[in-house]
Amino acid sequence: MRIQACFGLMAIGLLVAAGVVCSPALAAEPGKGVSLSADIAHADAYDALHPVAIGKKAPDFTARTAEGKAIRLSDFKGKKNLVLVFYQGSFCSVCAAQLSNIQNHLSAFRAQDAEVIAISADDREHALQSVGEHGLTFNVVPDADKQIISRFGVANIAKKGIAWPSLFVVDKKGVVKLSYASEDGHRLHSNEILPVLSRLTGKPAPRLEYDQ
């Protein structure tokens, strides 16, 4: 099995924290991403970990947010870049820290023409709990039947199909520009995501410390 992370050049140095090995031979043409991967141990739990790769079209889906609003991924095409955050659920304190970090810098994401959609296997009640407890104002989608999680290839079979910590950046054409899934628990925070969006828009991203 492989764990992939596909980043713009500005984010390469952050892969050390994610446990991903980068070869200095890897490079990218201006405006293109860098694809990096590292082998991880074989185990049944990883059999379904096949995150949608960079350069592929993001699978379309229709869902309702925790508040009941209907959204469709393809409706953002031509309008917004997307940050899709797959998290384990409301029980996960580390996931909550990631979502809160993104919320704290949501204005910076929107300055990069990006909308955030957070997805977990929670039911609506628990998704609403996350929204309320952490003051989340971006879209939070309960995926209790795990259909979206499965389509993006990040289901953790050993934990009944809940999502591995994963994150995708999708451009306005609907193409995946960052594909990240971690089996070691590392979650991408704003300082690791915004530089990727900056490469798409050409707009400068703020410099942030990891724990801001």
Catalytic residue numbers, as ranges: 95
Partners of residue 85 on adjacent β-strands: 118, 167
The phi, psi pair for 45, rounded to 5°, reads -60, -25
Sign of CA dihedral 15, 20, 24, 28: negative
Query: 155 - beta bridge partners?
Result: 163
What separation in angstroms does the CA of 14 have from each of 6, 110, 186, 204?
A: 12, 22, 11, 18
Read off the amino acid at residue 15.
L
